[in-house]
Structure 1
């Protein structure tokens, strides 16, 4: 089910949540529509995180998001390096558990409340196909994204201000004076040295450094502070890790005996063990 959103991401902080019509996404439907929804991940070397990008290939979801952004806005504005950097930062925020303010996720018809507000491939896949609206303002050379953490109702504001060849980035929770905002200064030429629409991996460089800097200094501190109020677990157990991480453990680190013992612990881990180490269950 989807409803038309009445408020763009650049809306006023004073607007109440009740006055906003959210666009609803059914997480179960999103998974069913995925081309590889029912397939095990055969190639664990495919980059899923921004930090997995290389000079020859961007991560799967970052590439998708940048391509859609270029297709959507290339005809109406002159895209610059700051634009690509901001879109990349938005993708990193998705990996940290934040989603656009004017969207809401449901799972089997119920409000989705992840116990572990961290990386979820389903959510990153969903929003890598949705380019944020009206997040840039050419007149005052600034960017603005309103986000919120899954499991929390607090609006977070990501603001980027151009200053020469730098982007001054600030992430804060306006209605929470007890949560300190975080800022970082990013040299745009270090991360987006040039524009090459045909080979986007040449446009974006040093993404591992960028991802770690933003997650460690911007997104994770705010996320952890919000987790305290939302009564969620900040650091997941083994069963709270994404499927991709569990698969890597199974393929690269566990022998047959350890894998069979792990599979006996719960149905989810058994399903993953059979998907990646099925020969040991024959």
Structure 2
């Protein structure tokens, strides 16, 4: 009897340890069970670099789940025949996913209900919920006319923006093997961020069956696009239209805030006061 109880105790302990080993990290990731991916095996020896969460984590063996999902959507719904798909088309799909990771979304496409909340963090650039939601909402109209440049209308959605959603146009055109990518500010066409990408270097082949073989050096490309296009655009947008301050400013006494605002220029002072403006109280209706 004692041996049986010891065996049951050891069996329950083993099961508990196994459940702990299978538990997921408390940090949310891009990969979710809904996408068909197995949960991460979280142990003290977990090699997080082996899990491609972003485009820059992809390899020739495995792509990031959202990039893989967007590519499958593109090959399934593209208005072109598969034989007519070019390397530059795949490059635009890739840049679209990188733009999603940078906080941009397609213009005019409604946001998921889970993201329409007052708790949206004003300092967060990457939201995996947005990337996952818009991965299968790639605008396909820009691929219809092969003679015209690629054009994606996107916007930066931010609840603390001084004006409405900040619109931006992603325009790209091919010059031999180079893809010239421009990020145009819709409100002011004189504001433009540009970069040049060698297509064949990053997209060596077109393989609809084995998607990881379509790309190479994705880490280098993702960092290049974010550093030269999307991060400068976000910095410009934040400095012009999105008031961002240190969170501790809201807890300072009014006398200190007045002294600080006297040292600021007009635009910075306006943005600061806009952030510190108290939000109206939320009145909840009682239901009988």
Q: Is residue 91 of structure 1 aligned with residue 100 of structure 2?
A: no
Deviates more, 1:93-102 or 1:168-177: 168-177
CA gap of 1:236–1:170, structure 2 versus 1, over 3 A, is farther
Which residue of the other structure, out of 35, 53, 56, is the alignment partner of 1:51?
56
- Relative contact order, higher structure (CA 8 A, sep 6+): 1
Q: Does structure 1 conserve the Cα–Cα contact (< 8 Å) formed by 2:78 and 2:143?
A: no
For 2:33 and 2:116, the matched residues in 1 are separated by 16
For 1:216 and 1:95, the matched residues in 2 are separated by 13
User: Deviation at 1:52?
Assistant: 0.1
User: Deviation at 1:227?
Assistant: 1.7
CA gap of 1:192–1:232, structure 2 versus 1, over 3 A, is same
- 1:109-258 matched pairs, under 5 angstroms: 113-151=120-158, 152=161, 153-176=165-188, 180-228=191-239, 229-232=241-244
CA gap of 1:92–1:130, structure 2 versus 1, over 3 A, is same
Deviations 1:163-217 (A, max 9, x none): 111111000212136x731111111001101111111111111111110110000
For 2:103 and 2:168, the matched residues in 1 are separated by 12
Aligned to 1:22: none
SS at match of 2:141: coil
CA RMSD of aligned residues (A): 3.1
Structure in which a larger fraction of residues adopt strand:
1
For 1:108 and 1:169, the matched residues in 2 are separated by 29
Q: Does structure 1 conserve the Cα–Cα contact (< 8 Å) formed by 2:153 and 2:169?
A: yes
SS at match of 1:104: coil
CA gap of 1:128–1:138, structure 2 versus 1, over 3 A, is same
Q: Does structure 2 conserve the Cα–Cα contact (< 8 Å) formed by 1:68 and 1:129?
A: yes
5+ residue gaps in structure 1? 1-31, 238-282
Q: Is residue 67 of structure 1 aligned with residue 78 of structure 2?
A: no
> Would you say how many aligned residue pairs link Structure 1 and Structure 2?
204
Q: Does structure 2 conserve the Cα–Cα contact (< 8 Å) formed by 1:141 and 1:162?
A: no
